Structure 1
């Protein structure tokens, strides 16, 4: 879609838009107009139709942090941990590519390449541009990092891909645009990732890790290359992606590694020397190639010639690969039918496409992943739960930062509080999506470094947010940020007798949200922006909160009240202490019979203090519901297998978890704003069951840790919800926060599973929610971070909360997952929330979809001491009107001074809501309250191609096509229609009203 002012859509306008957006979009006119005949698919070496063509792909896999930090990896520091220096890899590869025009190399991680590029001279940069233009250096994947697929939220993945691909676009134009997604190292593969890659314009995806049973079947049936239909809702082939499973993970065939860190013999081709080995090398290679060809479908196979941080001294690789190609191909004169060539994943993919075959169709995902019978990589779904939560909160803060940068304009970046920027946090968040970052599979000092980068980025954004709110409100009073409210710490509210709270809502719908502020008074007046009183209550801080915050705060009480905030805007609340207020009554001992509001009722067992039922009072549904905490004893290896539980691997030594306590010590309090049942299960496990007056969800705030290990046993703590819902061993989890997938105990849709680990082999990633349902009831659990979970009994759902392990699991990280800190030297304490809702299955998504978005994109609170200026603007919305419930405003960020990047998404699947699973039309010109939209052009999902110029390879599935869904056209040039699960991306030219 291309529009300028009110003109009708036409191709001639695309040129005008290119001119308008050329600086913003990073696609200069001269690069757009030139015919890229020497890069991409046009740069591929020729192959031989009647031979087995072996595509050698020189590559390096450069983790953006793992055993060393990002900085240490780039500079080659701390080689006592791991010998790796990315800057030297790129130096060496560029030098060697210039020596032979036949040579090829692919590079993946833009975070590293960006750093290296900035340090190069203009002549080196021009040389590299020439290599890229000729297809000799090719970028694959191209995101800031190679993201994890289990524990990342789709919004953060899209952001980090956009960041990396934008840099490649601006730097190299069309020849820098990757055509292949390359996820060779993530530990299992999510369907939503495939859907996103398809919508980003990739022609194919290659990865290395697949379950050992799945691989065995696929090898036998030659199904290691397939068509992945990655959405039930999007019209095929919108989310169809050709997918290839690489033969050796991402390593070279055995015996053919020629990096300086490898021990394989080089090719010794001087016949006058005693150790001449060309004949042996050629015969071993021909055997490897022919063996590999037996398990693939065409006369083309791919070999990854490289591995972790290889090519630091690239001459070793290239000198031997040159010889290998020469001597193997020389055998064709003797009747050999093997042809070897330098290649890239895209060149290999092009040959598969040219084969014009049909391919097996896959519609589920690749979780869980196991590399052997007792080695399920399902522990990292939960590893480092504090870092997982911090990453999720920071993602929310980044969206707020991006939005306010647009809404306040230039005043956001340079205002009364100094220079602010969103770029620092954007890059830190992008790094955090790496498959050894948010996944929790890095060394401890690296995890600390990720958190430090996020904190530093947020400090930069705080300046921008303060400037923005000062500009929008007309008040330059200092803004205070309280990042530890979850443990009731905020120095301002603890000491001030009068302050204001600004609540910013990044969602496109009005927000109602409970807040809890640490205070030391016993009564307060709260008023909204219009001066109307707001019902509030002061409750005592719980004992567990006092214990977890230690010396970081001194509030004895919490002020609780409900706030409302307009869409894409803020509202202000005023708080003042009441003098001579009476003391608070302490919580009552013992469990109440029940607690309820106008939506929900919860009952408790008077003997155990545990939950016993949950009722939806609107729909008159009731289920039995018990909840408790358990721990699995982590395996240290046994006679079956030496495999231990670790950062990656989950392997309990028993199928029966150990209950922490069958009875909870209980206190309760009931007020007009909130009702709480405070439960203590042990010195290291407590919980608050909380029901707010206006909430349709029951909150379970859990606090777990330090996990005791004096008994020399590693512990993996779960909470388990047991219901009378008849699930037939089926449950549902989300994929990266978007579409829901059905899971069944001891079952894989793709192959006949031989279950070897009855617990770990049934664990799946839960990114934002999971649910159980039958014909009448659906219990949905919304999580506040990525966690692992399962349903191991009918009507039961368990979620892993915390892990502390005493042994490494032999997957390279080289240390146990045994977290501690300065504050908690005896072991990490983690706090989080689960939100439970009970609905009819036909309408449950209408509750849990928006609830999950509210948890992911939580409101940002800022505080101001004393009174605000009398002329301050106390409420603001960046929208003319709220968007419909089905539509989420996913991205709203500054692209350049005149352009804004906008993503709108339909957040319902096609089947899940009678009310909201329908197309929705939005008028872009009537969207914003402070911006006039002058021009618009539609982009692909990653914003590096015009949508109408995005062309895919077409692939034919083996099984019958799914019927095409009804097509909808946009009703006008300014009105855009979103179908279920569709994300549409626009570059807007705007002016300020």
Structure 2
């Protein structure tokens, strides 16, 4: 055995165990990039396959029918020629392939990774959407994918590129996340056709994007817009599914065409070269599910490259050099060029929403499509945070099966054809199956851990999460006695309203952990859910305030049925609520007409309306007939007053397929709640309908409104305007729709009043007229919109159109807030509580006489109110991964929008932190190892500002997230 072979074998044995690579062993990353010349025009060929984690087929169908063949075929082809390259993106698919491989195949791939031929880019679990995703889920699914790649293939597999080539518009927060993952560049294909035309004209297809208005230049990332979607150039697809002519380099053959094909490709290159700012262009050589027979494509590309070496072609005065490359190598070439020429790229500071691929075709429908699925994903993320916290506190391993399964299912749901609702119906059902199975498994794990804590026995309580409580069904509450655990995953003490179905209009004795009786009330369910198959539904809901829930902790409540009591009907009244929070209902229309919150009264009306769809409206695209929405109710609506010890509210009936509770809670008077149910949408007239909730006020917002970017920073929107290009308003409704992940707001600057609506899932929203806010809540379309899914969007469930239930939270007040807290800070606190909300576990077994603790906290004290513990999960032996974030932007609050320091030395109940190692946002690299590229026009020099945390004190400026691997010692319980 030669020394070189021995060295490689030793390297491989270390790398597959995920151990760090020794310096100098492999040549990968930028060092492995092909050489480009300053005196040549460099054409970077990017062999790639875009592999959707579900769309027209389920993820498993795509993997077993396509993707496993793609990766295997590519590996074989790369071994034949060291010049060839390939980029791999989705870790969900790569994991399946890797787990099936024999050692010699893994060894071959490891070598290809180490020499830069097989390069991972993005490497998240899936290529996530950027409109309907929450930043926490995005970060989590990147962390999962990056960790898997690092553990199995080592440092050379670390990606340096964000490859978001297929999402339908692009968010500023995604750019910021990518920069803080340590990525040097971001690539995508879809932007508004007018924006693209402008960039083509002024050669700004390569640009610098600033992803944060708060974090400044550290969020800058080089961004390149692909020239022709992500497909191969016309006539140059050599895949077996294509019919383009192969290249023939035999001059004796009557089909010889090498010189002709070189000339044809050179013409394409010269045209593309007109639109990019340097002597480099990137040409994608791939498409959806390509390279199942990779040698077919690579042999033709070999000949194409050879042809350019034989038959000289030029761009202006530079000889065209065609080479195998990767997006990271293209980034390096552009970086070297602009730095050597001190050439600043155009700076982008907002986002790329909404996306239109032509006149009157705005991809704004998917902001709302499949709203029940969007909420289910939010629940999955909520439970995942609970699972990770419990696992970290109770010394569970990183790869605990139940936790891993839920991480993977939530990761798949972030895919740009999953959370978007743009998949076929059978694929949507598969996504729901995967997530529900994972949530059931995770529930059983957490339930057992809680049972141990409460009674010292994992089997004493069989806790359920009651995922069907929204349709008034929970088997475990169908009993005269049951036990409820309310777990608070937030890092602050909080109060939440518990709502559970109960099966008789019975009186209850509810006891808290200290033995005190708890006030409650029983209301009728929002609607009749008896149509739900295989579920025992209830006509009544019990609600009570679970007060002062400890951070990262729980309280146990016990329920006992008592003698039935008759309750009188409340008298109707116009003003409903309490001194600090109330609303008024019009006696003439039955609609909301005013609210009082935060010390002021504002006239606010709310109604459900719908746009009739044009034939081109579908899963992706929203095209209404006309600009005016129609009311669901044809006249005044029916109202019923509902009051009790916990809340006061009004039940409104807008028609046969729209009902709503408006409520104010006695123990949480920071918002007005709108608990609505819509469906089945009436399309018996064969006209699709897009249902919206519309809030109307006399506020003057002068055409401006604000929406969040993936749940974090606010971005100002201006009606009928785009900052970067001339906007034509041929579609004034859908063209002004933006993604709303958790908050939309309007402000009257003269009165210094703001109104905001906080959502429980991602939706499309806008302010189409001054004083108005509207959010799309449900859609049923009669036609496919021609963008590939091949089905109209009309979800069916239990033999009828799907009913969707959701909640909105209205907040209004002076922008300066009340006393010490601004309205923006109040809104963010509510949004946080409604995104990662306390989780309910129910058992029909009695906790009376439990041997251990009926309440417990994972933190010894609350974190500062402007700090959130975003992540706590097991990592390695005696380490946990934790992320701290500042939840406010600069200037949002006079007192809270400032740097804040958190002392971690004695914060956690279950363990003590001994040492902190700061990492990049994705946790796959120590921060001190990450050196990003510097670009002219950005004052960020690329080096990471590593701060001393030896004293375990972490300082956060507004909007910063800091990620740490913490070495810990577990405390005796």
Q: Same fold (TM over 0.5)?
A: yes
Query: Per the alignment, do residues 556 and 817 of structure 1 end up closer, same or farther by CA in structure 2, a change over 3 Å counting?
Result: closer
Aligned to 1:28: 19
Query: Per the alignment, do residues 37 and 870 of structure 1 end up closer, same or farther by CA in structure 2, a change over 3 Å counting?
Result: closer
Structure 2 residue 228 is matched with structure 1 residue 248: yes
Aligned to 1:726: 700
Superposed CA deviations along residues 21-61 of structure 1, whole A, max 9, x for unmatched, are x99997524x1x22266211111111122121100010000
Aligned to 1:652: 624
Aligned to 1:639: none
1:846 to 809, 825, 838: 825
Structure 2: where are the runs of 5+ without partners?
A: 1-12, 817-821
2:755 to 779, 802, 824: 779
Aligned to 1:735: 709
1:598-677 equivalences under 5 Å are 598-616=579-597, 619-636=598-615, 644-661=616-633, 662-677=635-650
Asked if the contact 1:408/1:472 (under 8 Å) is kept, the reply is no
Cα distance in 2, alignment partners of residues 347 and 370 from structure 1 = 30
Cα distance in 2, alignment partners of residues 844 and 194 from structure 1 = 27
Structure 2 residue 188 is matched with structure 1 residue 215: no
1:366 to 316, 327, 352: 352
Query: Per the alignment, do residues 400 and 222 of structure 1 end up closer, same or farther by CA in structure 2, a change over 3 Å counting?
Result: same
2:386 to 400, 425, 436: 400
Aligned to 1:72: 61
Aligned to 2:325: 343
1:325-474 equivalences under 5 Å are 325-332=305-312, 337-355=319-337, 356=339, 357-410=343-396, 421-474=402-455
Superposed CA deviations along residues 103-139 of structure 1, whole A, max 9, x for unmatched, are 1111101111111011111011011000000001111
Cα distance in 2, alignment partners of residues 711 and 989 from structure 1 = 63
Structure 2 residue 564 is matched with structure 1 residue 584: no
Aligned to 1:81: none
Cα distance in 1, alignment partners of residues 401 and 103 from structure 2 = 30
1:114-153 equivalences under 5 Å are 114-153=95-134
SS of structure 2 residue aligned to 1:201: coil
2:40 to 34, 44, 51: 51
* CA shift for structure 1 position 550: 7.1
Aligned Cα root-mean-square deviation (Å): 2.1
* CA shift for structure 1 position 271: 2.3
Aligned to 2:8: none
Asked if the contact 1:26/1:166 (under 8 Å) is kept, the reply is no
1:225 to 195, 200, 206: 206
Asked if the contact 2:397/2:875 (under 8 Å) is kept, the reply is no
Structure 2 residue 810 is matched with structure 1 residue 836: yes
Cα distance in 2, alignment partners of residues 489 and 232 from structure 1 = 45
Aligned to 2:886: 906
Cα distance in 1, alignment partners of residues 259 and 738 from structure 2 = 49
Asked if the contact 2:39/2:318 (under 8 Å) is kept, the reply is no
Aligned to 1:862: 841
Cα distance in 2, alignment partners of residues 249 and 838 from structure 1 = 43
Aligned to 1:826: 800
Asked if the contact 1:781/1:834 (under 8 Å) is kept, the reply is yes
Query: Per the alignment, do residues 524 and 23 of structure 1 end up closer, same or farther by CA in structure 2, a change over 3 Å counting?
Result: farther
Cα distance in 2, alignment partners of residues 421 and 352 from structure 1 = 44
Larger deviation, residues 121-130 vs 458-467:
458-467
Asked if the contact 2:915/2:950 (under 8 Å) is kept, the reply is no
Superposed CA deviations along residues 571-613 of structure 1, whole A, max 9, x for unmatched, are 111222222x32233566xx63111223212111100000001
Larger deviation, residues 855-864 vs 347-356:
855-864
Asked if the contact 1:73/1:86 (under 8 Å) is kept, the reply is yes
1:556 to 535, 539, 564: 539
Structure 2 residue 689 is matched with structure 1 residue 711: no
Cα distance in 2, alignment partners of residues 740 and 860 from structure 1 = 28
Cα distance in 2, alignment partners of residues 239 and 595 from structure 1 = 46
Cα distance in 1, alignment partners of residues 743 and 145 from structure 2 = 29
Cα distance in 2, alignment partners of residues 852 and 480 from structure 1 = 27
Asked if the contact 1:970/1:977 (under 8 Å) is kept, the reply is no
SS of structure 2 residue aligned to 1:794: coil
Cα distance in 1, alignment partners of residues 398 and 899 from structure 2 = 35
Query: Per the alignment, do residues 814 and 554 of structure 1 end up closer, same or farther by CA in structure 2, a change over 3 Å counting?
Result: closer
* CA shift for structure 1 position 845: 1.8
Cα distance in 2, alignment partners of residues 467 and 23 from structure 1 = 37
* CA shift for structure 1 position 270: 2.2
Asked if the contact 1:790/1:797 (under 8 Å) is kept, the reply is yes
* CA shift for structure 1 position 540: 2.8
Query: Per the alignment, do residues 546 and 321 of structure 1 end up closer, same or farther by CA in structure 2, a change over 3 Å counting?
Result: closer
Superposed CA deviations along residues 797-849 of structure 1, whole A, max 9, x for unmatched, are 1100000111111111111111002x2x1210000000111122231122111
Cα distance in 2, alignment partners of residues 881 and 663 from structure 1 = 51
Cα distance in 2, alignment partners of residues 780 and 71 from structure 1 = 41
Query: Per the alignment, do residues 871 and 223 of structure 1 end up closer, same or farther by CA in structure 2, a change over 3 Å counting?
Result: same
Structure 1: where are the runs of 5+ without partners?
A: 1-21, 77-84, 414-418, 637-643
Asked if the contact 2:471/2:537 (under 8 Å) is kept, the reply is no
**Count of residue correspondences:** 936
Structure 2 residue 303 is matched with structure 1 residue 323: yes
* CA shift for structure 1 position 184: 0.4
Asked if the contact 1:522/1:557 (under 8 Å) is kept, the reply is no
Cα distance in 1, alignment partners of residues 537 and 230 from structure 2 = 53
Asked if the contact 1:24/1:899 (under 8 Å) is kept, the reply is no
Superposed CA deviations along residues 449-508 of structure 1, whole A, max 9, x for unmatched, are 011000111122112101221232234322331111122211222x32222211000000
Aligned to 1:62: 51
Superposed CA deviations along residues 556-576 of structure 1, whole A, max 9, x for unmatched, are 322211002100000111222
Asked if the contact 1:597/1:694 (under 8 Å) is kept, the reply is no
2:148 to 167, 172, 184: 167
Aligned to 1:499: 482
Asked if the contact 1:421/1:464 (under 8 Å) is kept, the reply is yes
Superposed CA deviations along residues 296-321 of structure 1, whole A, max 9, x for unmatched, are 10010010000000000111110110
SS of structure 2 residue aligned to 1:501: strand
Cα distance in 1, alignment partners of residues 440 and 372 from structure 2 = 19
Cα distance in 2, alignment partners of residues 516 and 587 from structure 1 = 21
Cα distance in 2, alignment partners of residues 479 and 811 from structure 1 = 46
Aligned to 2:513: 529
